[in-house]
Amino acid sequence: MQNILVTGGAGFIGSNFVRHLLREYPSYHVVAYDKLTYAGNLKNLLEVHDEPRYRFVRGDIADKHSLAQAIREHNIDTIVNFAAESHVDRSILEPDAFIHTDVVGTYVLLEAARQFQLERFHQVSTDEVYGSIPEGFFKEGDPLEPNSPYSASKAGGELMVRAYHETYGLNTVVTRGSNTFGPYQYPEKVAPLFITNAIDDEPLPLYGDGRQVRDWLYVEDHCSGIDLALHRGAAGEVYNLGGGNERHNIDVTRLILRLLGKPDSLIRPVADRPGHDRRYALDCARLRALGWQPAWGFEAAMAETVAWYRQNEWWWRPIKSGEFKAYYQQQYGQRLTAG
Ligand code: NAD
Ligand code: TYD
């Protein structure tokens, strides 16, 4: 493993992972391959711009010609696939791009991996493929019961990864990560949306009763978990990757407000998300047996994240004033008026 194609490398977790690989593995060459959708941003990769072992290629994972060219040109031996449409609310408004990228794109990548006989294919998946669990913890062998177009498309892509291992013997590995937060997360997701809204004294639109539970994972811990599974995970295996920080949304919201010194009166209960999963929770014994454990506590990681958004308005202000405005109006306009 020397030349790694990180697809979706200009997104939130992908760009953190590109930095992680370049820092941890001085002999690796890393190519970030990204379509630069609304969520992809070359500013996320500024820190590695001058690194000679790093290259950026603009391309769609569903475009087999562009993909083949990148693999050939950079002598790629490994793919780590982060590329996805990643936001549940957008998948409810418009599922089309989710099928294109998360299902078809994953298939096209797998075909390329097979054709070029790559050493390893890592699929970055999500705990959302299981659906909701009222109590207890999901294990890797549990049935997949996704409830949103996003999670269904991720499950579709992931099952194709399984098929390529079983059918063609491709050396695959899958991680199912839980809700991730940290620097460079597009401000449509709840943590950066609420942090940046609160900085501007704008309302925080909390869906339903705010008692939904997510298991929060700091992006650096997500990257170290992917790293370990990529290098040490068994071929064809799936690994749950959760922070072990189950929190109600309302409590996450209050923590963010407390860290910013803003009042709880900014919280605005609004109409719930359709098909909203109540609770996610993961049993991560399999990955822990390989030696993984999170380095960050939840409160400290959220404090770090809040501090980053406070210090990096240059990064998020242009995003929130661009395409995002139309999306925000479509997603929240009526909700906020009615709420
Ligand atoms: P993101 O939306 O920030 O980044 C996705 C990146 O993929 C963007 O840079 C985008 O330009 C790129 N992309 C989209 N379609 C593409 C295409 N067709 N071809 C090439 N590039 C394309 O997402 P993220 O939060 O960083 O998530 C990364 C991966 O991790 C996704 O696969 C997601 O399902 C998974 N995941 C995310 C979380 C989370 O909480 N954010 C949790 C678990 C798993
Ligand atoms: P999100 O960040 O969209 O991640 P996911 O849906 O993939 O878990 O949302 C996290 C939780 O926060 C989820 O239960 C939905 C809730 N949420 C709100 O209450 N208000 C919001 O504006 C958003 C974006 C999410």
- Cα dihedral 121, 23, 72, 34 in deg (nearest 10): 80
As a whole number of angstroms, the distance between CA 205 and CA 271 comes to 9
Residues 6+ positions from 299 with CB-CB distance below 8 Å: 255
Please give the pLDDT value at position 322: 85
Per-residue pLDDT averaged across 111-118, rounded? Answer: 98
Q: In this structure, which topology does domain 3-180+217-241 adopt according to CATH? A: Rossmann fold (3.40.50)
Q: Is the pLDDT at 32 greater than 80, yes or no? A: yes
Element (H, E) at 201: none
Which atom of ligand 1 lies closest to the CA of 38?
A: 11
- Over residues 10-30, the pLDDT tens digits come to 999 999 999 999 999 999 999
Counting ligands in written order, the one closest to the CA of 177 is 1
In the set 54, 130, 150, 280, the catalytic residue is: 150
- Over residues 169-197, the pLDDT tens digits come to 999 999 999 999 999 999 999 999 999 99
Q: Is the pLDDT at 70 greater than 70, yes or no? A: yes
140 counts as catalytic? no
Could you give the C-alpha distances from 109 to 72, 169, 172, 295, 297, in angstroms and in order? 14, 15, 12, 32, 35
- Over residues 301-331, the pLDDT tens digits come to 999 999 999 999 999 999 999 889 999 999 9
- Over residues 200-258, the pLDDT tens digits come to 999 999 999 999 999 999 999 999 999 999 999 999 999 999 999 999 999 999 999 99
Q: Whose CA is nearest to atom 23 of ligand 2?
A: 190
**Burial state string for 323-337 with b = 16 or more CB within 10 A and e = fewer than 16:** ebeebbeebbeebbe
224 close to 175: Cβ distance less than 8 angstroms = no
283 counts as catalytic? no
200 counts as catalytic? no
- This prediction has a pTM of 0.99
Domain ranges of the chain: 3-180+217-241
What's the mean pLDDT when you consider all of the chain? 98
Is ligand 1 within 6 A of the CB of residue 82? yes
Q: Whose CA is nearest to atom 8 of ligand 2?
A: 179
Q: Is the pLDDT at 339 greater than 80, yes or no? A: no
Task: Tell me the backbone φ, ψ of residue 333, rounded to 5 degrees.
Answer: -50, -60
Mutate to test the pocket of ligand 2, among 207, 266, 305, 329 (most ligand atoms within 8 A of CB): 207
Please give the pLDDT value at position 97: 98
246-248 and 213-215 beta bridge pairing: antiparallel
Of the candidates 43, 54, 59, the one whose C-alpha atom is nearest the C-alpha of residue 19 is 54
Residue with tokens 């941003």: 41
